[in-house]
Homo-oligomer: A and B are copies of this chain.
Amino acid sequence: MSTLVVVGGDAAGMSAASKAKRDDPELDVVVFEQGEWVSYGACGLPYYIKGEIQSLEDLVSVTPEEFRQERDIDLRTGHEVVDINPSNRTVTARSDEREVVQEYDHLLVATGSEAVTPPIDGLDRTGVYTLGSMSDGKELREYVGRARSTGDLQQPDRGPACQFLETCNGPVGIVGGGYIGVEMAEALAANDFEVHLFQRGDRILKQFSTATSETVLDHLEEQDVAVYLNTEVRELAGSDAVEAIVTKDDRVPVEMILVGTGVRPRTNLAEDAGIELGETGAIATDAYRETNVPDVYAAGDCAEAEHVVTGDPMYIPLALTANRHGRAIGQTVAGKPTKGGGVAGTAAVKAFEVEAARTGILDHDTAQKAGFEPITETIRAKSRAGYYPEGGTVQVTLTVDGPSGRVLGGSLVSEYGEGAVHRSHALVGAVSEGTTVDELSNYDLAYAPPFNTTWDPVLTAAKVVDGTR
């Protein structure tokens, strides 16, 4: 009887464990998870904090008990793996009570990521939060709940962003203008906080096209979020509790700060065991997500994967990749070798009343290093037939290789409900298949007046880019 050991019980780990056990019920599957939560939807935390989801348990798709009882997985929560020994094929895990040494035939390292700690003074003050784990989510929800219940009266001095709101909590600060920053701006503003968002670079959502970033920025400002671009935060000032965000030019009073400046792969355990990291700093894997150490796999937020356009390894920690690679590993371990599939870097975000998605390579430097000669065009088009009573605007950015016409990447933004995100589905295939923009412009996409114009905005963008080549 063979044993699969999994280190880390979130998306990649539990996908692998479940798939392996389902495909080979004879397999012993042991999962060590440091915390108490497994298989949870961290992507849902902003909506829990916002108040749209009632309970943290709602974010859990399968409970520990279900994994144990229904899926027959030996899931050990509260167990931190402290050592991997490839020579002996063992891992050592420690719980409050004891230390166990577990043998493995196949090992999956799915240790996830941790928040990057930016070089800012005062990160340890009360009122400074990050959002990486379920317990982070719980704390933030409690903070919001307390502020809502006491709210108004404690805040005589309202900032300018707040003056049009009937009731107003805050002010609060967000450091970082990525997914988490933008989603948390919505969650906090919906709870009547006056939100100040600080971004070091010259735009928010930097993985998206410049045009998408600008459209989302305009929308945040319309929603009374004060956004500070090109602004390095120097200090989170205060005494015990945080009181202000200090930048080169400014001191913005805040009661609470969320720091969301990105994540890095959690790789210590792997490194100590002689598992190689790639150039990105995440664990290197082959197409089967196997590391340099035989029978040791890595997947999820701790691993890199090759990009479908460039073929180069990239570190793009996102939920679907973790699930997909975990599942492939489970299948492989159960006896059917399965490639995990590359990444296109596809991502989606909702920000108040807009939605955006991106896929592929948009950045010209990256494209050029991979040997392409990128061209980028952005168009704006109606989201539905012009005469249809509902509707808005979809903005589409396409980046293509000039000489070959190959579609390298795309970025879309629209009003929420006008389909930027689902429309990006058309581009993921194009990016993955090496489709040219001429071929894309000939895609026979669905059309009816309630859903698009005869030429879907994606096709219009393809025609426009093709015309500039």
Contact = CB atoms under 8 A, between A and B. Distances in A.
Interface of A: 11, 41, 43-44, 47-48, 52-53, 58-59, 61, 308, 318-321, 323-324, 339-350, 355, 357-359, 385-389, 416-417, 419, 421-426, 428-430, 432-433, 435, 439, 442-451, 454-456, 458
Give the number of times this chain occurs in the complex, counting copies. 2
A444 B346 contact: yes
A387 B348 contact: no
B446 A425 contact: yes
9 contacts: A43-B447, A58-B386, A319-B447, A319-B454, A320-B445, A320-B455, A341-B444, A342-B444, A428-B444
B443 A432 contact: yes
A439 B445 CA distance: 20
A386 B61 CA distance: 8
Given A41-B387, A454-B319, A455-B323, A444 B348 contact: no
B449 A44 contact: yes
A448 B343 CA distance: 16
Contacts of A417: 417
Given A433-B435, A446-B421, A53 B388 contact: yes
A117 to B, nearest CB: 25
Nearest to A340: B442
Contacts of A386: 58, 61
Contacts of A445: 320, 346, 424-425, 428
A434 to B, nearest CB: 9
A342 B58 CA distance: 46
Contact of A451 (B348, B388, B458): B348
B387 A444 contact: no
Given A47-B388, A425-B456, 12 more contacts: A41-B454, A47-B450, A52-B389, A321-B444, A341-B442, A342-B442, A346-B446, A347-B447, A349-B448, A421-B446, A422-B423, A425-B445
B389 A53 contact: yes
Contacts of A343: 444
Contacts of A348: 446-448, 451
Contacts of A426: 425-426, 428-429
Greatest chain B CB density within 10 A among A342, A350, A358, A451 is at A451
A446 B58 contact: no
B428 A385 contact: no
Given A47-B387, A61-B386, A389-B52, A451 B320 contact: no
